[in-house]
Amino acid sequence: MTQEMIYLDNAATSWPKPDCVTEAITDAITHCGGNPGRGGHRLALAAGELLYEARERTAAFFGSEDPFRVSYTLNITMALNLVLKGYLSPADHVLISPMEHNAVMRPLTAMGIPYSILPSDENGRINLSEIQSKIRSNTKLIIICHESNVNGIIQPIREIGRIAHENNIALLTDCAQSAGHTTINIESDNIDFLCFTGHKGLLGPTGTGGVIFGSRVDVEQIHPLLRGGTGSLSESFDQPGFLPDRFESGTQNICGLAGLNAGLKWIESQGLENLSRTGQALISQLRSGLGTIPGIHVYSGEGQVLSITIDNLDNGTAAAELEERWGIMTRIGLHCAPLAHKTLGTFPNGTIRFAVSPFTTKQDIETCIKACKTLAEESWIKK
């Protein structure tokens, strides 16, 4: 008997992808196989057109009017590194949310940038009224993980951005989880650096992501992370200063971006608000189902990610049992976000994490609740 697969690891990467994503990747390899900006023949032009279409769609999806203010990278980790390394120096101070991922914590630590963690409640929700008192004369950037990849809490970025701008500080948002889950508008949400990854809620393939620069940002103040060939100004050993070439050296991931473009198109066709409602309904089904089971502790916010711990049961054993007995795929541990677990009190063991996608069904959630209930009861009996 083939066991059914229930994929609830969408916060790591979404699966499955819409069919149109696979088709777009195949189509790009087949028909747009040239190198964009590197030649005048039809295959290079076709690749260039595809890249521009993806850029236009990405900009519009996040409310940016200028497609050239989108700089593609291989993932959000690279996008975050681009901003942190290009914009900050150890003389600066930054404020961070208490839910940051190591994609932020490790570069900040390696660069020796002093940071303060914004005060929050026990779920990691930032107390807006306490931001002002944390600002120092050299605070240059506020960094916010928009939707936590541990408990799905969504931070009020618009209000945080307003406070940042009133104090002449820039706002960087890590939208790894929130992109594709909730509407984000770089301008009305007061974002200066919007970092995203393509392979989670945006339903694109791995190897895609980027940063979008808000209209207030002077990109000349940001040093490129990489320097190299752009197909432009090739007579010079200096990196071109204009966008997108300033931050996009080397051949772009055209097939991946074709897939991302198709993922965004699919989201548009379904309606982001509809997808958002459905995802939240599934998480609330999961939250209420798990919340009443003795021995299970739920960590949850308004996003599409939720974590639990089960008393007397090691997370690794729980994940192995969930997959072996019910086909449920999940992720356990610290989810590369030890700071978030310190905030939630789940450090160092971490949690068992479930994350839904547009392809998750109510039946999947029902099975997941029953499976967790069985594990909680069995661990109680064993004790």
Q: What one-character-per-residue DSSP string does 4-25 give?
A: PPEE-BTTTS--S--HHHHHHH
What is the Cα–Cα distance from 341 to 151, expressed in whole angstroms? 9
- Contact residue for ligand PLP among 50, 70, 95, 103 (CB under 6 A): 103
Closest CB 195 distance from ligand PLP, rounded Å: 8
Closest CB 41 distance from ligand PLP, rounded Å: 33
Closest CB 197 distance from ligand PLP, rounded Å: 4
Instruction: Calculate ∠ Cα 200-128-193, nearest 5°.
Output: 40
Write the CA distances from 202 to 14, 239, 265, 267, 327, integer angstroms: 8, 31, 10, 8, 25
Contact 344, 327 (CB under 8 A): no
Write the CA distances from 272 to 22, 181, 194, 275, 314, integer angstroms: 20, 7, 18, 5, 37
Asked if residue 55 binds ligand PLP (CB under 6 A), the reply is: no
Residue 193 or 326: the one with the smaller Cβ distance to ligand PLP is 193
- Contact residue for ligand PLP among 14, 58, 64, 77 (CB under 6 A): 77
- Contact residue for ligand PLP among 155, 173, 177, 330 (CB under 6 A): 177
Closest CB 100 distance from ligand PLP, rounded Å: 8
- Contact residue for ligand PLP among 149, 252, 261, 276 (CB under 6 A): 149
What is the Cα–Cα distance from 244 to 3, expressed in whole angstroms? 47
What is the Cα–Cα distance from 291 to 328, expressed in whole angstroms? 19
Going by C-alpha positions, the residue among 244, 195, 228, 243 that lies closest to residue 79 is: 195
Residue 101 or 373: the one with the smaller Cβ distance to ligand PLP is 101
Contact 21, 206 (CB under 8 A): no
Residue 93 or 181: the one with the smaller Cβ distance to ligand PLP is 181
Closest CB 75 distance from ligand PLP, rounded Å: 3
Looking at beta carbons, which residue is closest to ligand PLP? Answer: 149
Neighbours of 116 (CB within 10 A): 13
- Contact residue for ligand PLP among 6, 44, 50, 76 (CB under 6 A): 76
14 φ, ψ to 5°? -80, 145
Closest CB 132 distance from ligand PLP, rounded Å: 25
Asked if residue 151 binds ligand PLP (CB under 6 A), the reply is: no
Asked if residue 197 binds ligand PLP (CB under 6 A), the reply is: yes
Binding flags for ligand PLP, 329-348, as an x/- string (CB under 6 A): -------x------------
Asked if residue 75 binds ligand PLP (CB under 6 A), the reply is: yes
Contact 77, 198 (CB under 8 A): no
Closest CB 199 distance from ligand PLP, rounded Å: 6
Alpha helices in the chain (DSSP H): 19-31, 42-61, 76-87, 102-111, 131-134, 157-166, 254-270, 272-291, 315-326, 338-344, 362-382
Residue 240 or 338: the one with the smaller Cβ distance to ligand PLP is 338
Q: Which residues bind ligand PLP (CB under 6 A)?
A: 75-77, 101, 103, 145, 149, 174, 176-177, 197, 209, 336
